[in-house]
Structure 1
Amino acid sequence: MYENEAKRKPHVQDIETFIQFGTPKSTFVKKILVDFQADLVLVGATGLSSTERMLLGSVTEYVAQNAPCDVIVVRSEAWNQKKKTL
């Protein structure tokens, strides 16, 4: 879905889609970032409450603390509070 949308943008040149199985936290940090030799990760914060974070854990927090490269965390409205813009 996002790949097709990105391909329509004139400034987007290279798109690669891949699927990895595993837990999001460790798979992203230990497999994807290492395979891509990333210099920077841009990750969004979901806006979970402290109780939800305690029960579910925070992928964003795990990535920020364990990534082998720099991480920028972007905060915005919680995904379920966003208005549909498309």
Structure 2
Amino acid sequence: MSQSTLRIALVFNPEDQTWIRRTSLAVPDFWRGHGVAPMTGDVFRLGGRQFTVQGRLWEQDGEGTVLRVFVGSAHAESDSVFG
């Protein structure tokens, strides 16, 4: 399987989906062009909030392979604890 045929779909919980729609955020294709797909425990930021990859589901549909990436509930920057 080549990386160019892999589609990655982020799956957010309903509360975060609503927040993304309300703030009109465009979710970038974070992993496009990377040689490694997202793994459980990876973290990314979107709109000042932090999301953690909690699980992955590989699927095959009529267009090819899809990796559904389930992310945990968002945390605002102020939620982060340092040291």
- TM-score, L = length of structure 2: 0.26
Q: Structure 1 or 2: larger strand share?
A: 2
Q: Which has the higher contact order (CA 8 A, sep 6+)?
A: 2
Answer with 1 or 2: which has the greater Rg: 1
Q: Structure 1 or 2: larger helix share?
A: 1
- TM-score, L = length of structure 1: 0.25
